[in-house]
Amino acid sequence: MTGQCMPRRRGTWMRTLAALGCAGFVMAALPACGAKDTGSAETPKRTDVEVVAFQQPWTSIAKECASTYGPEGVAYVEVSPPQESIQGTQWWTSYQPVSYRLDSKLGTEAEFQDMIETCDAAGVGIIADVVLNQTTGAAAADQGGWREGIAGSRYDPSTGAYPAFTADGAYPDGVDAKDFHDYADGASINGYMDQQEVQEGRLSGMWDFDTSSEKVRDIQSDYLKRLYDMGVKGFRMDAVKHISAEDMQAIKQRMAEKVGKDPDDIFWIQEVIGNAAEASGIQPRNYFGTGTVTQFAYTSNLNSALRGDVSSLADVGERLGDAGRNKFAIPSKDANVFVTNWDTARNPGQAITYKDGALYPLANAFLLSYDYGTPRLLSDYRFADRDAGAPGATDTSVPAVDFDEACAAAGGDWNCQQRWTPTRGMIAFHNYVHGTKVTDLQEPDSSLLAFSRGDRGFVAFNNGTKEAAHEFSTTMPDGEYCDVYAVEDCSRTVRVRNGKVQVMLAPTSAVALYAGATKTTHPSANRAVDPSTPQW
């Protein structure tokens, strides 16, 4: 049962703390609760949580690794594509490379190296977003001529001449039209039922690399080797369904040979969007032999359930991961799961995003508490225009952001999701319960869902519009635990008695407890709520 001083509505409670002017929400404002910041336990050991630092400069990510990602237990930070790209303020210009030089609008090669080393020192591995499928849009002849990329590399999009794509001194002339697919005389993809069209046609008019070419494989595997040698710990491969499974495997194999590693020991995330209305050969299952894959069905399931019947999430892991139930299944070990990414966030209705208020942290809490897939969080910026680049972006650069300033209050240009109190608490929860199974799953009505993670954790969700009081069963030991979804300093607690836990759930909110966070053993914190956390 919750303590008597625990407020009944999360939003009211957060506004009260803010009104007290706690300068980091000092605990002196909550003496009646008896909360003490003992700092007698460390943050749970990091496991597999990934954060996508979307369109963030290398210098900013380096500082955030040291101040936030490392201390809160993030295992990996995925960065936007680091290679040289076309000029432009739009975020998607990063996905149109003109060379594999490591000077981009997000920073120089030296800054990229420093970021890798700084993050590694903080215990955080860098995952590079890699674009192998395409270069730039193919301009018409009368719109052609030589242009320059971010770092000054020349290219001609009308003829397919990209002289800066080389490999360790080889291919000094780069690539030209012969190194790209020429499906239907350069036609763009119009449908997804023809595998050849999807994998050899031009995606949104962009030149499509012939990844079956030995030359192309050599150039691309050399780029991957360079990133690996710099200390990159993993690779997120963009637009993989547009590359044949055989080509993808061959490129990874060649890269592995160049770095002297077994391909299975290289962390490989492949963007593949499974869809029953698409060709069999481009489904995620075709790529399991090369690495993990993105599970977009998880995103759509969360989107549907949390806007409607939350109890439908009770068996989402089995529905999406068991091939006996679903021929498009992705086993948990092969699935990268997320609430939203930058693409779905910019397509209204596809996913739950920061624009959905309290529903967004609730969805991320489910992502981090359930036992299916490898969780990926998103750290991005506010936008009205779906094409808009990061705050302050120019044609050739994105200005560094000081997250201590940008996240000093909620509602700024940057969302700061990585610092929100529910994010911090649920990362700790995930790391603490990692390796356990969901137990005691309960779904008393369409708005309530709760489960335990063995004897290590308990979480309950309310996606309804009204407060809900309920008593759940749990396999957690009896005791008083910090509600890590709500606070960082254990000023809000919930008690387990005789295998039962009584909770009062605010609308669109959750309660999360783990055995390593009690009044005497919770990780050190000098505030209840991070100032970047919105007042939902």
Q: Bigger pLDDT: 18 or 249?
A: 249
> What is the reported pLDDT for 40?
62
Instruction: Specify the range with the lowest mean pLDDT, choosing from 15-29, 248-262, 486-500.
Output: 15-29
Active-site residue, from 208, 238, 247, 443: 238
Rounded to a whole number, what is the largest CA-CA distance in the chain? Answer: 78
Whole-number mean pLDDT of the chain? 93
| pLDDT surpasses 70 at 21 | no
Q: Look up the pTM and report it.
A: 0.93
Alpha helices in 49-189, H assignment, sequence order = 58-64, 70-72, 109-121
Mean pLDDT of all residues in 12-21: 35
- Which position has the token pair 């700084």? 118
β-pair type (500-505, 493-497): antiparallel
Burial of 21 (0-12, 13-18, 19+ CB in 10 A): exposed
Distance CA 218, CA 82 (A): 19
Residue 9 pLDDT > 60:
no
Beta bridge partners, 285, equal: none
Counted residue by residue, the chain has a size of 536
Residue among 50, 197, 247, 271 flagged as catalytic: 271
CATH code of 438-514, in short, is 2.60.40.1180
Is 176 among the catalytic positions?
A: no
Mean pLDDT within 497-509: 98
* Token couple for 230: 């710099």
Is the pLDDT at 313 greater than 60, yes or no? yes
pLDDT value at 28 more than 70: no
Domain 50-135+186-294+381-414 indexed as CATH 3.20.20.80:
yes
| 84, 151 contact by CB (below 8 A) | yes
Per-residue pLDDT band for 116 (boundaries 50, 70, 90) equals very high
With 70 as the cut, is the pLDDT of residue 6 above it? no
pLDDT digits (tens, 9 = 90+) for 518-535: 999 999 899 999 999 999
Query: How would you label 405-420 residue by residue, b for 16+ Cβ within 10 Å and e otherwise?
Result: ebbeebebebbbbbbb
Q: Which letter does DSSP use for residue 69 in this model? A: I
> Could you tell me which residue, 22 or 53, shows the higher pLDDT?
53
Q: Is 16's pLDDT higher than 90?
A: no
Q: What is the per-residue pLDDT for 527? A: 95
Structure-model confidence comparison of residues 139 and 21, the more confident one? 139
Instruction: Respond yes or no: is residue 530 known to be catalytic.
Output: no
Domain boundaries, the chain: 50-135+186-294+381-414, 438-514
Q: If you average pLDDT over residues 47-68, what whole number do you get?
A: 98
List pLDDT tens digits, range 236-249.
999 999 999 999 99
